[in-house]
Amino acid sequence: MLRALYPGSFDPPTNGHLNIIQRCSQIFDAIDVVIAMNPHKNYTFSAEERYEMMQELLSEYANVSVHLWDRLVVDFADKVSARVMIRGVRALGDFEYEFELSMLNRGLNTKVETFFIPTDPQYFVLRSTAIKELARLGGDISTMVPPSVADRLRNTMRTAKDTPTPASKA
C-alpha cells in the first residue's frame, strides 16, 4: 500500500490545495493531510478551525484523512509508515523553496521521498496569504476557495475589522 502525506498550514484551505489532494487521491492508496500547528507562527484560523474546514471539505474521499501535528513532518511519516511527502509547486520560486525543504527532510529521514506535483494552471496564483488580503479588502474570492471557506474568511475579516484597535478606541 502506497501511503502519502500532504503537509501544510492550510490557513485556510484553497481550491489549489483541494486540486492537489483530488489528483493525488487517484495516485496513492491513502493520503494523510497533516495540518501544521506551529506555536511560533501566527495563523488566521486556529488549528481546530483549519482541521474542521479540511474534514468537511474532504469527507467525500474514502482514502483521505486529516490530522493535526506539532512536530516534524518526517516523524509523522514514521508514525504511520508513509513513504511519500506530497508538495504542490506553483512558480519557480516555490520550487526553489520546496527543493531546499526536501533536502532538509532527506537529511532527517531517507525513507521518505518528496513528490512534487505542479499546480493546475487555473490555480497558479492561489496563495492563502494573498486570498486573505483580498478578502480583507472586500475582493471576490469565490473562485479561489470553496463557499464554506469564503464564508468563514468573510466573517473572520469582518470581526477583525470591527474589533477596535487601541488607537481607534482613544
> Interface with ligand ADP by CB under 6 A: which residues?
8-10, 14, 16-17, 20, 87-88, 90, 94, 119, 123, 126-129
Nearest approach, Cβ of 151 to ligand ADP (angstroms)? 19
User: Catalytic site residue 41?
Assistant: yes
Q: Which of 67, 90, 106, 154 is catalytic?
A: 90
Sign of CA dihedral 135, 70, 101, 76: negative
d(CA 51, CA 11): 10
* Backbone dihedral region for residue 163 (phi beyond 0: left; psi -120 to 50: alpha; all else: beta): beta
Q: Give min distance, CB of 9 to ligand ADP, in A.
A: 4
Per the annotation, the verdict on 168 as an active-site residue is: no
Q: Which three cell numbers stand for residue 121?
A: 494552471
Per the annotation, the verdict on 17 as an active-site residue is: yes
Segment (H or E) for 106: helix 92-108
Which one of 17, 87, 132, 152 is the catalytic residue?
Answer: 17
- Residue 87 or 152 having the CB closest to ligand ADP: 87
- Residues annotated as catalytic are 17, 41, 90, 128
